[in-house]
Structure 1
Amino acid sequence: MSTRPILIRPMQADDVPAMLAVQAQCYPPHMNEPADVLLARWQACGDTAWVACDAQGQVAAYLVAYRSVWGKVSPLGQAFAHAAQPEVLYLHDLAIGQALRGQGAAQALVAAARQLAQAQALQGSTLVSVNGSLAFWQRLGWQVMSLEAAGQRALATYADDAVYMGWRPTW
């Protein structure tokens, strides 16, 4: 664990190229989402998107989310928008590049999301676990949840190991 605190800040439009590089380090090519999708998500939901910077101030990790409802899954590669009557904060993409792996960046980004969810009195958080991250999310308190047919169809756009998960806080 690094002794240097990790800088977490809101995502900006000019972070997209660095985010693409981080994404390429974290996901297989078929799961990489294009720059225009990342930019559209920032434009629609920039208040729920964060980046983490390395010691040189370069974006080396990110978390993009949006206010949603229980059971809704965003298909891979599609734009998203905040729900009119949100229940949860949906964590769509958490990616940690090589420069920040093992230094607490994931936990710091998730903490920022949890703080926002609490401040907005949301009921919890949901996500889709991919790339063998199920145990990581379970350690942070998320649990596997079932989905209706529409959610299952959206889940099928991800990798074979994709699992829908939810977290209910005790605040």
Structure 2
Amino acid sequence: MQWRAMRSEDIPAVKAMADEVHIAYPEDEAIFAERLSLFSEGCFLLEDVEGRPQGYLINHPWILGHIPPLNSLLMAIPEPASTHYIHDLALLEAARGCHHGARIVEDVAQLAADRGFSSVSLVAVNGSGAFWQRRSFRIYQDISLNDKLVSYGDGARYMIRDL
């Protein structure tokens, strides 16, 4: 399997994977299309040797300590942005346990560092906190985020990786 840049024709497959992997967090196809149009260099698709999509990662510049609402259009990348925000990482079952997630997270960290950012941030859901901690992310506690985290479900944690 190999990561490559996401293309607009990949959006239906990305939506299908999101629906399978993130059942409790449905998002419209327009959300994925907008993220790709706003920051294409932060959108990746994992393909198997036969070219079938097996996962994706979407990230974009954002404001540290802020959480974009689920299933909401951004309209624009904020200026100035202060972090690279991982909107979503999803891997189908066949791609799990093979370090594909770890590899793309390192690529995102390098992309953020190369662009002059000092952090990568995200909301960990579905008990994924341990995965992110192994990638050098730490839980960021801020009471002002609690209301927004509720929409991400029980156990959701805002996490940051310093670069």
Fold conserved between structures, TM > 0.5: yes
Q: Which amino acid letter does the alignment assign opposite residue 154 of structure 2?
A: D
Deviation, 1:152, is 2.7
Normalised TM-score (structure 2): 0.92
Establish whether residue 55 from structure 1 lines up as the match of residue 17 from structure 2: no
Identity, % of aligned positions = 28
Establish whether residue 108 from structure 1 lines up as the match of residue 103 from structure 2: yes
Q: Distance in 1 between matches of 2:14 and 2:61?
A: 21
Q: Distance in 1 between matches of 2:125 and 2:116?
A: 27
State the partner residue of 2:33: 39
Moved over 6 A (4+): none
Q: Do the aligned residues in 2 keep the contact of 1:63 with 1:91 (CA within 8 Å)?
A: yes
Q: Distance in 2 between matches of 1:119 and 1:91?
A: 16
Indicate how the Cα distance of structure 1 residues 148 and 70 shifts in structure 2: closer, same or farther if over 3 A, else same: farther
Q: Distance in 1 between matches of 2:130 and 2:152?
A: 18
Question: What CA RMSD, in Å, does the superposition of the two structures yield over aligned residues?
Answer: 1.4
CA offset digits 1:97-120 (Å, max 9, x no partner): 122111121012212211111110
Where in structure 2 are there 5+ consecutive unaligned residues?
none
Deviation, 1:153, is 2.6
Deviation, 1:148, is 5.0
State the partner residue of 2:81: 86
Establish whether residue 162 from structure 1 lines up as the match of residue 159 from structure 2: no
Where in structure 1 are there 5+ consecutive unaligned residues?
1-5
- Matched residues, number: 162
1:138 partner SS: helix
State the partner residue of 1:3: none
Q: Distance in 2 between matches of 1:97 and 1:125?
A: 23
1:43 partner SS: helix
Q: Distance in 1 between matches of 2:3 and 2:47?
A: 7
Normalised TM-score (structure 1): 0.88
Establish whether residue 126 from structure 1 lines up as the match of residue 121 from structure 2: yes
Deviation, 1:75, is 1.1
